[in-house]
Amino acid sequence: MTVQTQPTQARKNRKSMAWEHFLAWFGILLVILLSIFPIWIVLKTALSSSTTLFESGGQLLPSEPTLDNFKRVLGMVTAEEALKAGGSGQSVNFLKSIWNSVIFTGLIVIGQTFFSALAAYAFARLKFPFRDQIFTLFLTAMMIPGIVLFIPNFITIKNLGWLNTMQGLVAPYILMTPFAVFFLRQFFLSIPRETEEAAVLDGASPFMIFWKVVLPMSQGPLATLGILTTIGMWNEFFWPYLIGKDESVYTLPVALQQFQTQTPQGSPDWTGLMSGAFLSIIPVFILLLIMGKRVIESLAFSGGK
């Protein structure tokens, strides 16, 4: 940034600039601290020994720092030892759950993005009867709160015999969500028709145009959608919890339930829960580090979700 002003003016400006800079930085730091603080508390709790946790509720540093809780979560101690450590005696089958989460999230992200793109392209460019009415229906579907769909979806999955299976877990999400279709359609509409017309003159079929021309031009929004879906699905709890009652199909958020209250009047195993929660944040955190810029652009692009 260059400022072209008179020298005297410049000094004044520099002064006010410095002041403004300071304010801006201060504001940013404050927001960073506010957003990091809860994560720090999670980590602090994870590193505390469960017996001393409540004596040091107000401290910022863990009391009697220990890695035991992480070991417990990863199943590196026996149930007896874990009980002695004040845990629920439960270890999450962490690697299995991570794997399930990766498959669950991966399948949905790939499937949903691809199929939604197909539908969006049809709505944006192809002419077929009742197209606009169908699209209106679609938009109406966005207004239905997800929670009311749980019971009919559950019954469908049950009748298909897909309870406790991966296909049952991904079924409601893998084909599309109205949001994804709407979001991509808006983008496809903004692609200049000339490029597609050129492809038509070269004798390309609609699918070829979609595959060879439109998709490569829409990498930005596709990536955006992928990232948003990844974050959403990685943290998705209720559906996997309803469908996957068997340990073999637990996703991470469901597996973390093991640290809940173990007896009627007991209290949750906070240290174990926080270790698990912290470990489950890491993959998404890495994704954000790599793709952070994209996410910010895309959120600005989509106007936030």
| Contact pattern from residue 96 through residue 115 relative to another protein, giving x for each residue in contact according to CB under 8 A and a dash for the rest | -------x---x--xx--x-
Interface residue with another protein among 153, 186, 262, 302 (CB under 8 A) is: 262
| Residue 242 touches another protein, criterion: CB under 8 A | yes
Find the shortest distance in angstroms from Cβ 298 to another protein. 21
Instruction: Tell whether residue 272 is a contact of another protein (CB under 8 A).
Output: no
86 binds another protein (CB under 8 A): yes
66 binds another protein (CB under 8 A): no
> Does 55 participate in binding another protein (rule CB under 8 A)?
yes
CB nearer to another protein: pick between 57 and 304: 57
Which of 52, 66, 235, 302 lies at the binding interface for another protein (CB under 8 A)? 52
Tokens 């992200």 sit on residue: 109
Residue number with CB closer to another protein (97 or 258): 258
Q: Report the site for another protein in 108-167 (rule: CB under 8 A).
A: 110-111, 114, 154, 158, 163-167
Tell me if 258 contacts another protein by CB under 8 A.
Answer: yes
Q: Taking contact as CB under 8 A, which single stretch among the options 15-23, 53-61, 178-186, 275-283 is the one that binds another protein?
A: 53-61
Site residues, another protein (CB under 8 A): 50-55, 79-80, 83-84, 86, 88-90, 103, 107, 110-111, 114, 154, 158, 163-167, 242, 245-249, 257-268
